[in-house]
C-alpha cells in the first residue's frame, strides 16, 4: 500500500512535487482549484503535462483530486443541484488534465431524510456531470467519500453508497468507486480496530458494492470515540483509532494496491512527514 498526503499546490505544481517528495509521499492528493469556490481558473495543459512527467519520473503516484466542499449532489434544491453538477463536471475535467487516478467528492446532504430518494438524486447528478465532462479520461474514477454521519450528511453507510452505485447506468458505474475515510467511518460507528474488523468491512463493500470498489483510503485517526459522529482528524496513533487499526489496514491483503492519503491538522512539514513515517513504520510490521 502506497502512502502519501494531501498537498497544497498554492505555490505551483513544481513546489508541490518538491514538498511531497521531501515529506516521503509515495502518492498524493490535491485541490485542483479553491475548495470553497464554485469556479476557478482552468488548468494549464502544458504545466499539467510537466507535472505528470515529473511525478512519473519520481515514481510519485497515483494522484487524486479532491472536489470543492460546496458540491451537493443529494440536494433537493434545484439551483444548488445545477451548480453542483456543473462544478463536479469541471472537477472531472481538471482531474483528467492532471492525469489523476481519481476525483474524490463528498455527497452532500438529504434534508428530506429520504435516503433512497437522495441516492437517486445523487446518481442522476453524477451521470449528468459525466455527460458534461466528455473530455474526462475514461480510466479516471469518481470516488464517493463516506461521511461521519453528522446531521443529514449523505453516505455514512455502505448501504447508502451502494444505493447510489445501483442507481447509476452501467457505463457510469464502471467509472465510479469509493473513497473510505477512516476517521469518518470510526466516527459513524464502524469497527476498524483489528484485522478481523477490516475483513468484515471489506466483505461488506464487496457484497454490496462489488469487488475492487475502493479507489483510495483517507487514512486519518479520530479525536473522538466510535459512534460520536464527530469528524475531527487526529495524527496517526494519537487518536481513538490508534496504531492497531492502521497496522491492520496496511497489512490487509485486499488493500495492498489501494493508496492511503493522510489529511492532517497541524503545521507543515511535520503534519505530513511525521504521519507518513508512522504509516510506513506500521507497514514494515506486515512482513515482520
Please give the DSSP secondary-structure letter assigned to residue 42. P
Q: Omega into 192 within 30° of 0, i.e. cis?
A: no
Q: Record the pTM.
A: 0.97
Q: Which of 110-114, 185-189, 243-247 has the lowest mean pLDDT?
A: 110-114
In the prediction, which pLDDT does 175 show? 96
251 φψ region: left (φ > 0), alpha (ψ -120 to 50), beta (else): alpha
Q: Say what the pLDDT of residue 58 is.
A: 97
| Beta strands, E only, 121-175 | 141-145
Q: What is the DSSP string of 64-107?
A: EEEPPTT--TT-S-HHHHHHHHHHHHHHHHHHHHTT-SEEEE--
Q: What is the residue-averaged pLDDT of the chain?
A: 96
Distance CA 72, CA 61 (A): 28
Q: What is the pLDDT of residues 38-82, one digit of tens each?
A: 999 999 999 999 999 999 999 999 999 999 999 999 999 999 999
What is the dihedral sign for C-alpha 272, 95, 132, 36?
positive
| Average pLDDT of the residues in 263-267 | 98
**146-195 pLDDT per residue, tens:** 999 998 899 999 999 999 999 999 999 999 999 999 999 999 999 999 99
Q: Which residue has the cell 446531521?
A: 151
Q: Domains in the chain, start-ordered, CATH in brackets? A: 3-287 (3.20.20.150)
The Cβ of residue 288 has, within 10 Å, a number of other Cβ atoms equal to: 5
Record the cell numbers describing residue 187, joined without a space. 466516527
Q: In the predicted model, what is the mean pLDDT of residues 236-254?
A: 98
- 31's enclosing H/E stretch is strand 27-31
Q: Is the pLDDT of residue 101 over 70?
A: yes
Q: How far apart are CA 131 and CA 43, in angstroms?
A: 20
- For residue 59, the model assigns a pLDDT of 97
- Residue 135: pLDDT over 80: no
Identify any residues that bridge with 104 across adjacent strands, giving them in sequence order. Answer: 66, 143
Span 267-279, mean pLDDT? 98
Please measure the distance between the N-terminal and C-terminal CA atoms of the chain and give it in whole angstroms: 16
- Cα angle 197, 203, 208 (rounded to 5 degrees) comes to 130
Question: Angle 242-251/195-209 helices, nearest 10 degrees?
Answer: 50
Q: What tens digit of pLDDT does each residue of 216-230 get? A: 999 999 999 999 999
Amino acid at each position: 500500500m502506497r502512502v502519501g498526503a494531501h498537498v497544497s499546490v498554492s505555490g505551483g505544481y513544481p513546489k508541490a512535487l518538491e514538498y511531497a517528495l521531501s515529506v516521503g509521499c509515495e502518492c498524493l492528493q490535491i485541490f485542483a482549484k479553491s475548495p470553497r469556490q464554485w469556479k476557478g481558473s482552468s488548468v494549464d495543459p502544458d504545466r499539467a503535462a510537466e507535472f505528470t512527467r515529473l511525478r512519473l519520473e519520481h515514481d510519485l503516484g497515483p494522484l487524486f483530486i479532491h472536489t470543492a466542499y460546496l458540491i451537493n449532489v443529494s440536494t433537493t434544491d434545484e439551483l444548488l443541484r445545477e451548480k453542483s453538477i456543473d462544478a463536479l463536471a469541471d472537477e472531472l475535467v481538471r482531474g483528467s488534465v492532471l492525469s489523476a487516478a481519481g476525483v474524490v467528492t463528498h455527497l452532500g446532504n438529504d434534508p428530506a431524510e429520504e435516503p433512497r430518494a437522495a441516492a437517486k438524486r445523487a446518481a442522476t447528478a453524477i451521470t449528468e456531470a459525466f455527460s458534461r465532462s466528455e473530455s474526462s479520461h475514461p480510466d479516471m474514477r469518481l470516488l464517493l467519500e463516506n461521511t461521519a454521519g453528522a446531521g443529514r450528511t449523505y453516505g455514512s453507510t455502505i448501504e447508502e453508497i451502494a444505493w447510489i452505485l445501483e442507481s447509476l447506468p452501467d457505463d457510469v458505474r464502471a467509472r465510479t468507486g469509493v473513497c473510505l475515510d477512516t476517521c469518518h467511518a470510526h466516527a459513524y460507528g464502524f469497527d476498524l480496530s483489528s484485522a478481523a474488523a477490516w475483513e468484515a468491512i471489506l466483505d461488506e463493500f464487496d457484497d454490496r458494492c462489488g469487488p475492487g470498489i475502493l479507489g483510495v483510503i483517507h487514512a486519518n485517526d479520530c479525536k473522538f470515540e466510535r459512534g460520536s459522529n464527530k469528524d475531527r482528524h487526529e495524527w496517526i496513533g494519537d487518536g481513538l483509532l490508534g496504531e492497531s487499526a492502521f497496522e491492520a489496514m496496511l497489512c490487509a491483503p485486499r488493500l495492498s494496491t489501494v493508496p492511503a492519503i493522510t489529511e492532517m491538522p497541524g503545521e507543515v512539514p511535520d503534519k505530513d512527514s511525521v504521519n507518513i513515517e508512522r504509516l510506513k513504520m506500521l507497514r514494515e510490521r506486515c512482513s515482520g
